[in-house]
Amino acid sequence: MMASVQPTTEPAGLASIPRHIAIIMDGNGRWAAAHHLPRALGHRRGADAVRRTVEACIAEGIAVLTLYAFSSENWKRPADEVEDLMALLRLYLKREINDLHQNGVRVRFMGALKDLSADLQMMIKKAEARTINNKKLTLVIALNYGSQAEIVMACKALAQKAVAGEITPNEINCQMLANHLQLADLPQPDLVIRTSGEKRLSNFLLWQSAYSELLFLDILWPDFNAESLKTAIRDYQGRERRFGGR
């Protein structure tokens, strides 16, 4: 039985520290172009920003950080760029997993992981297994992820249960569907950040972000740092969260 999504318990009023921050890491290519460097180097500088952001989240007491690393639509990019991104992920897991583990970070993945190469799937399983008992920060990496596909899979699972007679169609509600999304045991994101100045969610956590605060920053992802995170948190704390109540 899948765990239920944890509903927000934060009362209406000014927000406190967000429990869950989700980030659309955008702008690696534009950063590279602005510095007259190859796109691959922009992605590598983006990986450095991931390290800084994880450290900053630990320092700020954030419980969950979800990063949109590779969307299901990113396969449309040039093959050499896709391969570079996958190689960078392998390098990140090899290089960072020890530090993540020692710093109490639990690593989890979401997305269509079965479509990835066998060696990468094995690295993902090992990283998740090694860090499973860590509690200081949960780092979720959305990889080959698309929110619409995730919702469709949840609907298919409910349809199969209905066909099997385990539930009736009339029993299906929002909470039941939410329970069949990936990582349904985690709190929904309080704050969704997108860098690079773009103002859209790009198929990222569409269901989970129904009542998230959204923040669009002009900064390119490789330039994101601890001060950027603090600024985002201060912005979030200045907002009044109503959740449709008034």
Active site residue 170: no
Instruction: Return the structure tokens found at 90.
Output: 């392998």
Q: Write down the catalytic residue from 48, 74, 80, 170.
A: 74
Q: Is 117 annotated as a binding residue?
A: no
The reply to whether 73 sits in an annotated binding site is yes
Q: Which of 26, 144, 179, 190 is catalytic?
A: 26
Determine whether the annotation assigns residue 85 to a binding site. no
Spatial distance between the Cα atoms of 35 and 13, rounded to a whole number of angstroms = 43
Residue 151's CB is within 10 A of a number of other CB atoms, namely 16
Check whether 75 is labelled as a binding-site residue.
yes
Tell me the C-alpha distance between 27 and 13, whole Å: 33
How far, in Å, CA of 146 to CA of 98, rounded?
Answer: 29
Does 99 participate in catalysis according to the annotation?
A: no
Does 213 show up as a binding residue in the annotation? yes
Annotated ligand binding at 194? The verdict is yes
Residue among 214, 213, 72, 60 at smallest CA distance from 151 = 72
Residue 6's identity, in one-letter code, is: Q
The answer to whether residues 227 and 244 touch, using CB atoms and an 8 Å cutoff, is: no
43 is in an annotated binding site: yes
30 is in an annotated binding site: yes
52 is in an annotated binding site: no
**Contact in structure between 144 and 124 (CB atoms under 8 Å):** no
β-sheet bridge partners, residue 21: 65, 191
Q: Are 93 and 127 in contact (CB under 8 A)?
A: yes
Residue 71 in marked binding region: yes
Distance CA 102, CA 226 (A): 20
Tell whether 133 is in a known binding site.
no
Residues belonging to the binding site are 26-31, 39, 43, 71-73, 75, 77, 194, 200-202, 213
Residues belonging to the binding site for Mg(2+) are 26, 213
Residues belonging to the binding site for substrate are 27-31, 39, 43, 71-73, 75, 77, 194, 200-202
Query: Which residues are catalytically annotated?
Result: 26, 74
